[in-house]
Structure 1
Amino acid sequence: MPLSTQCQDDDKKYVLVASLDNARNLSNILKAITFKDHAIFTATSNGLQVTVEYCKTLQASAFIQTEIFQEFTIKEDLVAFQINLTVLLDCLNIFGGSPVAGTSTALQMCYKGYGYPLTLYLEEGGVVTVCKIKTQEPEELIDFDFCSTNVINQVILQSESLKEAFSELDMTSEVLTITMSPSRPYFRLSTFGNSGNAHYDYSKDSDMMEMFRCTKTQTNRYKMSLLKPSTKALALSCKVSVRTDNRGFLSLQYLIRNDDGQHSYVDFFCCPDEEGEEE
């Protein structure tokens, strides 16, 4: 690891040090949740979680487990800060965002604690660039209270199938209606746009359906403006888990495979469009 010595001189001062041989493994995951400028970074001994919220109705989190990193050292039970996600991505791609065969950008992230910047050491082809990004005190995140014990319905699909569905549905629709049921139509996506009503159905026995577990018929509406940010994660993923709980809250969990074949997860939580249902 070319950057392994960068933080050694001040090693005792850092509460968090994380290293990657390939910075793209981090930047690709972060792109999947970049729909607002600022994000909350939360690090524990299990790994790094990056969370973005929008209007208290949508929350997206990317979790990068410790196994993804070549080095992951944390000296506190919890390390948290807020950072400009757009600036961080610009720094991670400072050598160019497109991969070149046989080359990769090595990364080492170092953080001294509250009030200090996040320091990035990036190396490619023997050239080292140092970036320091201002951090802020993290804002309190909304607890969507999405508990697995309250999940009513869940399906796991191959992502290609969901991409196909979105390409055929009318994206001018203000809402997407999701119907999940133990009987027909099983799993249905519906839109109501300029071209009229459109439905896309999945059979529980479909080749694209890896798991079907529905216990109760539910039909919920979600604002399309809230779901569109998740299409970035969909484009990068190979599988997606769709869950709804007893309140109609929606969970979309995307399985993303990085350049090294390792897996990370991106979660989106979305409130149902209750106003639309009342209308």
Structure 2
Amino acid sequence: MLFFAEITDFRIIHNVLRAIAIKDHVILRPMEEGLKLTLDEMKCIETSVYIPSSVFTDYNINSNQDIIFKINLKTLVEILNIFGDEGNPNIKLSYNSVGAPLSIVMNHNEENITIDGEIRTLNVDDFNDISLADECNTNKLVINANILVELLNRLNNSADELKVTLSPDPPFFTLTTTGIAGESEVNISKNSEEVTLYQCQSTTSAVYSFSNIRHILKVMTYADKVAISTGESGLLGLQLVINSVDRQMYVEYYVTSQYLTDD
């Protein structure tokens, strides 16, 4: 067996996977430190979910082999939702060999029900394992997630573009939308109690598709903290820390800019 994992409380994981299920397939990569799921076929954005091995009650991999495969994400979400929001069964995942299906066994102890299913796996031909975090090394801001959600919701939701500016000078962090209805802007100071870290040596300002940013809003509602980082190329990184039952999981979201500005 190449991979086996068991978990007893998966509701927050299911909610996160359901929130990011905007593409059909997801790449699964079990590693010693935990399970990484990356959305496939995204050209200008990349979404990855990290579930540390400590979140699982049992977690084993064959460390002699690089394990990577692709499955239908929407099928996985549907299977995990068989018992609905009220159910919280014990779940076992196993992957026996290359090309074998991903086996899912769900036990609902209270109802004494067991469901045994399989999801067909696909080979991954060209997986890019380059860490985008290394590119987002210019400026960094750590902020409470609920405040960032509030700031984004204050902006014109129908706007096409979102400009993100981090500066060593006031007002420090600024979000600006531009659309048919005009321009709207919100900002927050590095001295705000909602900000736990602010590292900015030079001003970076870039414009992104607002629809790409809105993709992560639903996931952000489950997060406690968000680390916002930028790079010289305009790449924007959002690292979400999600706590559940004294355990943490992480979501990383990277968006390429439409263009840089001189602000």
Deviant stretches of 4+, over 6 Å: none
Q: Where does residue 62 of structure 2 map in the other structure?
A: 75
In 1, Cα distance between equivalents of 2:133 and 2:81: 36
* Unmatched runs of 5 consecutive residues or more in structure 1: 1-13
User: Is the Cα contact below 8 Å between 1:66 and 1:72 reproduced in 2?
Assistant: yes
The alpha-carbon distance between structure 1 residues 16 and 55, as it changes in their structure 2 partners (threshold 3 A), is: closer
Asked if 1:267 is matched to 2:240, the reply is: no
Q: Where does residue 91 of structure 1 map in the other structure?
A: 79
Q: Of the candidates 183, 188, 199, which is equivalent to residue 213 of structure 1?
A: 199
Instruction: For 1:98-177, list aligned pairs within 5 A.
Output: 98-99=85-86, 104-124=88-108, 125-142=111-128, 146-148=132-134, 151-177=137-163
Q: SS state of the match for residue 170, structure 2?
A: coil
Q: Of the candidates 60, 64, 71, which is equivalent to residue 51 of structure 2?
A: 64
Instruction: For 1:14-33, list aligned pairs within 5 A.
Output: 14-33=1-20
Give the drift of 1:55.
Answer: 3.9
TM-score under structure 1 normalisation? 0.87
Q: Where does residue 237 of structure 1 map in the other structure?
A: 223
C-alpha distance after superposition, 1:169-199 (max 9, x if no partner): 0021111100100002200000012332111
Q: Where does residue 187 of structure 1 map in the other structure?
A: 173
Q: SS state of the match for residue 121, structure 1?
A: strand
The alpha-carbon distance between structure 1 residues 150 and 264, as it changes in their structure 2 partners (threshold 3 A), is: closer
* Unmatched runs of 5 consecutive residues or more in structure 2: none
TM-score under structure 2 normalisation? 0.93
In 2, Cα distance between equivalents of 1:273 and 1:142: 22
In 2, Cα distance between equivalents of 1:179 and 1:121: 47
C-alpha distance after superposition, 1:201-221 (max 9, x if no partner): 111101111111111011100
Q: SS state of the match for residue 236, structure 1?
A: coil
Task: State how many pairs are aligned.
Answer: 259
User: Is the Cα contact below 8 Å between 1:16 and 1:74 reproduced in 2?
Assistant: yes
